[in-house]
Amino acid sequence: MRFSTFANRYQQNAGTVQLMEDLGKATAAEGPIYQLGGGNPAHIPEVEAMLRDAMADLAGDAQAFGRMVGEYDSPGGNLAFREALAGLLRDSLGWAVSHENIAVTNGSQSSFGLLFNSFAGPFADGRHRQILLPLTPEYVGYFDVGLAEQPIFDGRRPEIDLLPDRQFKYRVDFEGLELGDRYGAVCVSRPTNPTGNVITDGEMAQLREACSKADIPLIVDGAYGLPFPGMIFTEATPFWDDNTILLLSLSKLGLPGIRTGIVVAHPEVITLIRNHNAINSLAPSRFGPTLLTPLLQGKQLQAVCEGLVRPFYQRKRDHALAVIEHAMADLPLRVHKPEGALFLWLWFEGLPITAHQLYQELMGHGVFVLPGHHFYPTKIEGWRHQQECIRVNYAAPDEAVTEGLQIIARVARQAFSL
């Protein structure tokens, strides 16, 4: 078949494709499988019960159900949902937002392409601007969306603080960080996928100030953050202002199947999203917004995030850490301080094979993880660290996490010839 050059970007196996394919392979494979890769959230029985009840109410309401399945929504997303969410953000976080600051998308992944290509690539003044990722490793799902010929991401190497209990934490290296005119936007995920890092309030304040000085937006990906799903286990203040583009998602709450993303931003950005929705899919799905609106209005959603979701993942994190402490005590291993999201980022210092080789070995033993090198937009010369880390999702059932981590310990021990 003769494809245009546009098709090139869909003919290669991008990191995001590998990640999602592995999820499929793991469910189709024979023998015991330990799915510690991908970004699937856990099935939390109480959360699913609440959602089932909401669904039953909806199915029993002929009018609401009829509208949800039988009518296109407006391209910016469901108005009642946007109003309810704006109310929540005003009341619980004190942000000056209305529905005009909110748009709905079919999963937050679907807005990255539009946003990154709108702030990076060729500009009318002849310059090529990039998106600065001030702290890499960063979410692999960003890297493959660029339409420009030249790379649209510039990822910075972080400072590494070594902490007690064989932990470490990445920190933004502000030394020599000049935004100048090179960048069209700055982007961070907070909490961060893949590391479970929560960039501190101090770092965020510095980034905000730098962005406002350079007159470029700060994109904050809050897929795991506040107000939902609230997977943050440390002190961190959420913020929003006119210069912030905040991305939220219903996925990590337990709803990745219904694909609902949210953008909170200046109305100019919301117009872009609205038009993009209309042009590419006529309208975003009505399902997530219709299901969630009563839960937002009745404040059940916040109660569930605080009372169930956060403690659930905190317990899962502690379980995974305890297994590691026991099974990997003899390995040259450090774990990134897990402050949020649902991942552990394991750093095997001096690993004699690459993270990719380790990942392949592990797949042969039925353990799916993600090799660390995918989480950088480019290779940083002389920084072996990029090849020494793997990401482990600890949302799977406890037995799978325990056995999977024990297999990782065995395979890593072999790699180190211990």
Ligand X SMILES: Cc1ncc(COP(=O)(O)O)c(C=O)c1O
Q: Identify the residue among 78, 130, 136, 193 touching ligand X (CB under 6 A).
A: 193
Work out how close the CB of 237 gets to ligand X at its nearest, in angstroms, rounded to a whole number. Answer: 19
Give one DSSP letter per residue of 347-380, joined into a string.
EETT-SS-HHHHHHHHHHTTEE-EEGGGGSSS--
Q: Identify the residue among 223, 232, 253, 291 touching ligand X (CB under 6 A).
A: 223
Work out how close the CB of 3 gets to ligand X at its nearest, in angstroms, rounded to a whole number. Answer: 26
Please choose, from the candidates 214, 196, 211, 241, the residue with its C-alpha nearest in 3D space to the C-alpha of residue 39.
196
Closer Cβ to ligand X, 250 or 412, answer by number: 250
> How big is the chain, counted in residues?
418
Work out how close the CB of 251 gets to ligand X at its nearest, in angstroms, rounded to a whole number. Answer: 3
Closer Cβ to ligand X, 37 or 402, answer by number: 37
Q: Identify the residue among 35, 78, 101, 109 touching ligand X (CB under 6 A).
A: 109
- Is there a contact between 343 and 401 (Cβ–Cβ < 8 Å)? no
Closer Cβ to ligand X, 86 or 187, answer by number: 187
Q: How many residues bind ligand X (CB under 6 A)?
A: 14
The rounded radius of gyration (Å) of the Cα atoms in the chain is 21
Q: Identify the residue among 15, 37, 39, 76 touching ligand X (CB under 6 A).
A: 39
Closer Cβ to ligand X, 141 or 184, answer by number: 141
Tell whether residue 244 is a contact of ligand X (CB under 6 A). no
Taking CB under 6 A as the binding criterion, the range among 163-171, 249-257, 286-294, 315-323 that sits at the site for ligand X is 249-257
Q: Identify the residue among 37, 76, 121, 141 touching ligand X (CB under 6 A).
A: 141
Tell whether residue 261 is a contact of ligand X (CB under 6 A). yes
Tell whether residue 256 is a contact of ligand X (CB under 6 A). yes
3-class DSSP string for 251-302 = HHHCCHHHCCEEEECCHHHHHHHHHHHHHHHCCCCCHHHHHHHHHHHCCHHH
Q: How many angstroms separate the Cα of 369 from the Cα of each of 27, 38, 396? A: 14, 7, 12
Closer Cβ to ligand X, 79 or 258, answer by number: 258
Work out how close the CB of 305 gets to ligand X at its nearest, in angstroms, rounded to a whole number. Answer: 16
Tell whether residue 262 is a contact of ligand X (CB under 6 A). no
* 3-class DSSP state of 75: coil
Q: How many angstroms separate the Cα of 12 from the Cα of each of 1, 16, 17, 168, 359? A: 16, 11, 9, 34, 20
Work out how close the CB of 357 gets to ligand X at its nearest, in angstroms, rounded to a whole number. Answer: 24
Angle between helices 62-70 and 45-60 (to 10 degrees): 100
Tell whether residue 249 is a contact of ligand X (CB under 6 A). yes
Residues 276, 282, 283, 287: is their CA dihedral positive or negative? negative
Work out how close the CB of 182 gets to ligand X at its nearest, in angstroms, rounded to a whole number. Answer: 24
Work out how close the CB of 184 gets to ligand X at its nearest, in angstroms, rounded to a whole number. Answer: 19
Distance of CA 289 to the CA centre of its chain: 20
Q: How many angstroms separate the Cα of 24 from the Cα of each of 21, 38, 204, 368, 397? A: 5, 10, 36, 11, 18
Work out how close the CB of 153 gets to ligand X at its nearest, in angstroms, rounded to a whole number. Answer: 15
What's the half-sphere exposure (Cβ side, CA atoms, 13 Å) at 154? 16
Tell whether residue 116 is a contact of ligand X (CB under 6 A). no
Tell whether residue 108 is a contact of ligand X (CB under 6 A). yes
Residue type, 234: T
Unique residue bearing structure tokens 């950005």:
269
Taking CB under 6 A as the binding criterion, the range among 105-113, 171-179, 211-219, 311-319 that sits at the site for ligand X is 105-113
Tell whether residue 78 is a contact of ligand X (CB under 6 A). no
Tell whether residue 153 is a contact of ligand X (CB under 6 A). no
Please choose, from the candidates 132, 136, 107, 111, the residue with its C-alpha nearest in 3D space to the C-alpha of residue 39.
107
* 3-class DSSP state of 321: helix
Closer Cβ to ligand X, 133 or 320, answer by number: 133
Q: Identify the residue among 37, 75, 107, 372 touching ligand X (CB under 6 A).
A: 107
Residues near ligand X (CB under 6 A) are: 39, 107-109, 139, 141, 189, 193, 221, 223, 249, 251, 256, 261
